[in-house]
Amino acid sequence: MLFLRLIGESFGFAFSALRENRTRTLLSLLGVTIGILIIIGVFSAVDTLRANLENSVEKLGSKTVYVQKWPWDGGPDFPWWKYVNRPEPDIRDYQALRGRLTTAEDITFNIDIGNRTAQYGNNNVSGVTVSAASHELYNIRKLEIVNGRYFTESESNRGSNVAVIGATIAEGLFPNTDPIGKALKVLGRKITVIGVFKKEGEGMIFDVSMDNVILVPLNFGKNVINVRRADSYIMVGARPNVALEELESELRGVMRSIRRLSPLEEDDFSLNKTTIITAQLDAMFKVINLAGGFIGIFSILVGGFGIANIMFVSVKERTHIIGIQKSLGAKNYFILSQFLIEAIALCIIGGLMGLSVVYLLAYLVKLAFGLAIIVDVGMVVLTIVLSTLIGLIAGIVPAAMAARLDPVEAIRSK
């Protein structure tokens, strides 16, 4: 009980010293606050960026393989000359795959042409992508339609001039009216709107949303889209009980057979999947996290040195009081605990202030730009622990000096 009472008195002395020197306390807190702010701010920005990128990648389909002309694993030494003369995937490849693949759940063929202009009355939307796809796209991409409906199989087979449009296009062409049943004009043809996709928002790095897309049936699109100027690709979704590697292996063998490639010839197509992108993201974020860690450590060290400096000053100012306490029988651990508690309190309060600023900035960013900033709870806990540790390290030397003072010399110092 005596020990606990002495520790309680140490807390009282420490916080009394903090209150009496408000300006110095505030300046000491700023160093730790800025350090914690930088650490959590950097890692929150990285986590937010990563979550946004992974969300974009997820839209591509985690169990989907893309048959394309170009591979996704580009880079500064990308050998483009190996791929430039490859043939684009075509409808014959798509039809052959539909008849021969056994591990695929759904297969769809897509033709995309970008930078088009859509018109309705006096309203225009530029930068539109017109995408023609076979009926199975709805199952592979798991598209969400908030108004209207998707194509029926008969509309897809007949090649009806109908479309499902993105939310951005709907807002631009039909700002004050329901777009369902209206006929917009694109690629020189009138197309009836039958559905509107859910608004997804643009990605930070690459955009795979349907917000600016006009989706039409393949049998209609192949008659109005210039295939030579368009990008074509095949999407293959794996069955629920089939591993992606198994699908990829069968798909490579069937495609080589369709293209009549000999065993010694290289593939004249690329099989792309989201793991290619996630592997690149993992490598990139390792470097970013390492850089962020170094920035945060140096920022915290600066704050820690500031706390240590203030504690030396505090010991110097209170040397006379320490002498009186020791002459009245105060133990070394009582003197030591006063200064350790003061240093730790400074760091914890500074850390909490830094956290408060981070959460305030995250709220303001979400309010202004609609972007949700991710603040990792584990990082918050680590920050509090780190603040306590830094306070302990910064205060241990000044506190030990104070505890070892000779009471007579300490009293005479004034």
pLDDT tens-digit map of 57-76? 666 666 888 999 988 876 66
Residue 9: its pLDDT value, please?
60
Q: Strand 162-165 and strand 189-197: pairing?
A: parallel
Among 211-220, 267-276, 389-398, the minimum mean pLDDT is found in 389-398
Residue 191: its pLDDT value, please?
94
Q: What is the mean pLDDT of residues 316-329?
A: 73
- Residue 206, pLDDT > 60, answer no
Q: Tell me how far the alpha carbon of residue 407 is from its chain's centroid.
A: 58
User: Cα separations (Å) of 262 from 88, 97, 266, 267, 324?
Assistant: 19, 19, 8, 10, 95
- Residue 413, pLDDT > 90, answer no
Among 27-41, 166-180, 262-276, the minimum mean pLDDT is found in 27-41
- Residue 277, pLDDT > 90, answer no
Measured distance CA(123)–CA(302) in Å, rounded = 57
Residue 13: its pLDDT value, please?
59
Q: Tell me the average pLDDT of the chain.
A: 81
Q: What is the mean pLDDT of residues 183-203?
A: 88
Residue 8: its pLDDT value, please?
61
- Residue 128, pLDDT > 70, answer yes
Residue 161: its pLDDT value, please?
93
Measured distance CA(322)–CA(328) in Å, rounded = 10
- Residue 162, pLDDT > 90, answer yes
pTM metric for this prediction: 0.66
Q: 252: buried, middle or exposed (CB in 10 Å: 19+, 13-18, 0-12)?
A: middle
